[in-house]
Structure 1
Amino acid sequence: MREIMNYDDIRPYEDHEVNHYINVLLKDDVFQQVLYFIFQDEKKVKGVCQLLSEIRSINELQMKFMYPLIKEWIIDKTTSGITWSGLDNLDKTKSYLFISNHRDIILDSAILNYIIVNAGMNTTEIAIGNNLLIYDWILHAVKLNRAFVVKRNLPARELLLASKNLSSYIRKTITKDNMSVWIAQREGRTKDGFDQTQQALLKMLNLSNKSDFESGFRELQIVPLSISYEREPCGISKVEEIYKREHDGFVKTQEDDLKSMAFGLTRPKGRVHFAFGKPIDAQLKKFGQAENLAESIQQLADHIDTCIYRNYKLWPNNYLAADLLTDSNLHADKVDDAVRDKFSELLDDLVKTIGEGDANCQKRLFMQMYANPLLNAEKVEGSEILS
């Protein structure tokens, strides 16, 4: 008997639900405060509320409201420009599973969707952990923007059932609905700059596989995506969290996640680059011939990592941090005085923000966060990628 899945508790809102949930949002006092924070003008907020109240579909919401918002409020105000490469590897009529390194809670998927809309593709559905859905308005806002919920922190049996349902939903979205999906390579943002695909993610995706390893992953059309910010979103906050967790037993709260979302949206990010890899296809046959499923999964994870490391856009800060860590000048030709001065300011800000503790240790963590992408790229340089 065929198992029937129900996705109502995790799926995004559908067009017929859009107007209802927008009106729910507009009546939410906290959401009104968010609008005032963004637009900082009562007349503009009233205009936005009027615009939102007239929207009747997801596509209309994204094209009339989200797309201009991302461009004008995030890209124009907080970056020095965004670039991308590799989109010519993709067929605009097909759907893909974009698996990327994860640096910022909101920006990664928001900028991805801005880029692919510019390229003539539809926006993706987005995986978001339920730990981030702190308030009802956040739940409604993300589900109105094609986000589906990843349930976390469940008892073992419930987690398995939720993972099967999630896996089935992702596969259906790509293969039946012809909608692309974005998901991070790991749970939570990378805070030390060392991007690595978790086996658990690929095992979850395989739970809905009704065929062999090769066929099951081929139909997902996985595209490794390298996301590179010249200046780490919430970089100082990330180091503060690592340092305090290691030295003071710091435990992150939901409020910390909310603060990270706000900081990521508003803080300077410098230049930003998204590099799209080629869909993983022919390589899957070799991975499927491994001794067991665990080894096949690990080989696929390693391949995704290699693609992400190799395509990652390295900035002067990455080279400078590596030289500072090793007290060398190996990459001096890629760093000018202005970069050195600015990075020194960031290190001073880091120590002032944390306020106490071992300043040298804190600076080292900060430098490692910037150096690790370079070290990973050098590690896979010259390594073979099967085609």
Structure 2
Amino acid sequence: MRQLFDFDEIRPFYDEEIPDIIRSLTKEEKFRHALKFVVPDVDAFCRQMEECTTKREFQKRLAIPVLNDLARRSTSGVDASGLENLSPSGNYTYMSNHRDIVLDASFLNMMLDAHGFETSEVAIGDNLLVYPWISDLVRVNKSVIVNRNVPRRRMLEVSRRLSNYINFAIKIKHQSLWIAQREGRSKNSEDQTQESVIKMLNLGGGSDMRTNIMGLNIVPVSISYEYDPCDYLKAKEYQMKRDNPDYKKQPQDDLFSMETGISGYKGHIHFYLSPVINGELEKLEDCCEKSDVLHCITHIIDKAIHSNYMIYSGNYVAYDELYHTDRFSRNYSTEEKRRFMDYMQKQLDKIDLPQKDEAFLLERMLEMYSNPLKNKLIATGVDL
């Protein structure tokens, strides 16, 4: 079914476009060079790609097996819970916290496929698409392009088009979609849903925000990484911004973060999929003023995400180290504490700065690992 709106610049490719796009990709030298880092035989992989004629076939035959192999090589396991809250025939807007540029949505799709669910489309920022072949690849892999670097005068137009597309995907195509709860990764793991994301989603509906958001079947997803390979890069960026308020990341910085996140060791990764928030949204009429609905929606999403983090021994160690307490000492052994602090030091040693402030950098990294625990305690009503 074709849509009434013009989504050609941002939509995933139609299946009839896939063969030509794939033939173009397999001839792109930079794409073939990138493949060397994830597959053992580039030529064989490209031949298999050229046999794919649909997005689903590409994902089933190539993308998901590559992700499973990556999980075996760079994690101690990836798993998911909460899927009993959902139906494989349902259409959902999966909204999650955002840790890794590439793998958050990719591993979620791997989990959905393993449990008999259709993979979701993925909303991805155009700031990451630094080469045309990357844009082609992600659209073959069911990605939707989020235009970020646009003039202010076009922001409403661009946001409305994206909102219209998401509404079209969920309600007409019956296709689930993943979107992060905020623009960009949360560098300190202080995961808070941006109101601007909810405002954008609301643009594609009618006049009532609560009804519009209910129509998108939002499923909060809690993503918990035992280790974040990019933690030292995020800490480094904190010091660079502290020392130079005008510091701006370059495109190559995001590329290096993508490479580091993909190849680096992540320990265990867990996804928890909460129930659709519509039951909570139905109660809003009685519990808050119309002007407060936006805040209430973000609070519902945040509470669901925070309540369902998986907490690892390193999170407990980081909290006690950051706040100079032994509150959670029963939750980790002496060996687990030593291993985590050794890991922190190894990550700190990777940071190359002319005036390296190791105490500041360590504090930032401890925050990254302690904030999920802190927010879970608050969301579940535990007194801090």
Match of 1:372 in 2: 371
Match of 2:175 in 1: 179
Match of 1:227 in 2: 223
Distance 2:38 2:146 in 1: 27
Preserved contact between residue 168 and residue 208 of structure 1 (Cα < 8 Å): yes
| Secondary structure of the structure 2 residue equivalent to 1:282 | helix
Distance 2:210 2:334 in 1: 50
Match of 1:291 in 2: 289
Q: Where does the alignment leave 5 or more consecutive residues of structure 1 unmatched?
A: none
Preserved contact between residue 100 and residue 226 of structure 1 (Cα < 8 Å): yes
Alpha-carbon distance, 1:121 to partner: 1.0
What do residues 183-213 of structure 1 show as CA deviations (whole Å, max 9, x unaligned)?
A: 0000001110110000000000000112523
Distance 2:264 2:334 in 1: 23
Preserved contact between residue 98 and residue 182 of structure 1 (Cα < 8 Å): yes
Match of 1:339 in 2: 336
Alpha-carbon distance, 1:260 to partner: 0.7
Distance 1:228 1:324 in 2: 20
Q: Which amino acid aligns with 1:367?
A: L
Preserved contact between residue 98 and residue 225 of structure 1 (Cα < 8 Å): yes
Q: Which amino acid aligns with 1:263?
A: T
Normalization by structure 2: what TM-score?
Answer: 0.95
Measured on the aligned residues, the alpha-carbon RMSD in Å equals 1.5
Match of 1:6 in 2: 6
Alpha-carbon distance, 1:288 to partner: 4.6
Preserved contact between residue 92 and residue 121 of structure 1 (Cα < 8 Å): yes
2:236 aligned to which of 240, 252, 261? 240
Preserved contact between residue 221 and residue 271 of structure 2 (Cα < 8 Å): yes
Match of 2:50 in 1: 53
Match of 2:71 in 1: 75
Preserved contact between residue 226 and residue 276 of structure 1 (Cα < 8 Å): yes
Alpha-carbon distance, 1:82 to partner: 1.2
Q: Which amino acid aligns with 2:323?
A: T
1:330 aligned to which of 319, 327, 331? 327
Equivalent residues, number: 376
Pair 1:350–1:35, CA change in 2 (3 A): closer
Distance 2:171 2:88 in 1: 15
Alpha-carbon distance, 1:4 to partner: 5.0
Distance 1:119 1:199 in 2: 31
Match of 1:358 in 2: 357
| Secondary structure of the structure 2 residue equivalent to 1:38 | coil
Preserved contact between residue 103 and residue 233 of structure 1 (Cα < 8 Å): no
Q: Which amino acid aligns with 1:306?
A: K
Alpha-carbon distance, 1:353 to partner: 2.2
Preserved contact between residue 213 and residue 288 of structure 1 (Cα < 8 Å): no
| Secondary structure of the structure 2 residue equivalent to 1:37 | coil
Distance 2:289 2:366 in 1: 39
Q: Which amino acid aligns with 1:308?
A: I
Match of 2:251 in 1: 254
Q: Where does the alignment leave 5 or more consecutive residues of structure 2 unmatched?
A: none
Moved more, 324-333 or 240-249: 240-249
Distance 1:223 1:163 in 2: 21
| Secondary structure of the structure 1 residue equivalent to 2:269 | strand
Preserved contact between residue 125 and residue 147 of structure 1 (Cα < 8 Å): yes
Matched, 1:208 2:207: no
Distance 1:213 1:154 in 2: 25
